[in-house]
């Protein structure tokens, strides 16, 4: 009887500790995501980029071609199943490779995949999706930036990719594409509870001097900065 009570006590304390940790995590995420990193002042509005969410995950959307870069030279149309080249924009999202390639829907989520992602036990990938146009709305926000700021964002995105010995992007051969207009690439870093796909996107906005959350693991923190004021 004493052993059973001891086990129940330990189990109860463990559950309580987990609940407290989750509460601290969510509370910190809420507070820090509402704390703003302000946009740089006195800059030119030379071009537009976008932030795009599917309700969970934030992508950074940029023009395929500009004075600074032609993304299609490395993020090739031929790497998509559709092979279409009539696009104007490419969206970049960084995330856990296991989630991207093994979890096309939430119904396919495995406990092992979630565990590896949460505790940085998996590698990362970049998901590139081509678009012919962008439609502004609650899930898609236009941001005007200068050419100099865009150069910084280009560097941030480029440095997130893993490259081969020749400096080229490493396309991931897979049948797990989400549509006929996307492809996956090897990426640096490891996804975890404190550095998520949305943290990556938020840091991308910081890199080019745009409004961003102090820290956020969720897309709601990023879009709060652009839709609540």
- For residues 89 and 82, the answer to whether their CB atoms sit within 8 Å is no
Residue 149 pLDDT exceeds 90: yes
d(CA 187, CA 96): 9
36: which strand partners?
213
d(CA 174, CA 209): 35
| Reported confidence tier of residue 123, pLDDT bands at 50, 70, 90 | confident
Give the percent of the chain with pLDDT over 90. Answer: 70
Q: How far is CA 143 from the centre of its chain?
A: 17
Give pLDDT, residue 208: 97
Give the percent of the chain with pLDDT over 70. Answer: 85
Mean pLDDT computed over 123-146? 96
CB-based burial label for 34 (10 Å; 0-12, 13-18, 19+)? middle
DSSP letters along 4-17, please? HHHHHHHHHHHHHH
- For residues 81 and 171, the answer to whether their CB atoms sit within 8 Å is no
Give pLDDT, residue 15: 72
């Amino acid at each position: 009887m004493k052993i059973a009570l001891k086990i129940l006590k330990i189990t109860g304390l463990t559950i309580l500790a987990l609940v407290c940790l989750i509460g601290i995590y969510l509370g910190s995420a809420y507070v820090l995501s509402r704390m703003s990193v302000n946009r740089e002042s006195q800059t030119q509005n030379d071009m537009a980029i976008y932030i795009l969410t599917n309700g969970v995950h934030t992508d950074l959307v940029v023009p395929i071609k500009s004075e600074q870069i032609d993304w299609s030279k490395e993020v090739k149309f031929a790497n998509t199943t559709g092979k279409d080249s009539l696009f104007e924009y490419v969206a970049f999202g960084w995330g856990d490779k296991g989630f991207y390639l093994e979890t096309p829907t939430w119904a396919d989520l495995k406990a092992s995949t979630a565990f590896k992602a949460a505790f940085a036990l998996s590698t990362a990938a970049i998901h590139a999706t081509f678009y012919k146009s962008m439609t502004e709305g609650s899930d898609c926000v236009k941001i005007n930036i200068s050419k100099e700021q865009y150069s910084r964002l280009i560097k941030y995105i480029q440095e997130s990719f893993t490259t081969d010995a020749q400096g080229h992007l490493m396309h991931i051969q897979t049948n797990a594409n989400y549509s006929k207009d996307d492809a996956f690439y090897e990426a640096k870093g490891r996804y975890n509870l404190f550095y998520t796909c949305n943290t990556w996107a938020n840091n991308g906005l910081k890199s080019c001097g745009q409004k961003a959350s102090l820290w956020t693991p969720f897309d709601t923190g990023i879009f709060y900065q652009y839709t609540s004021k």
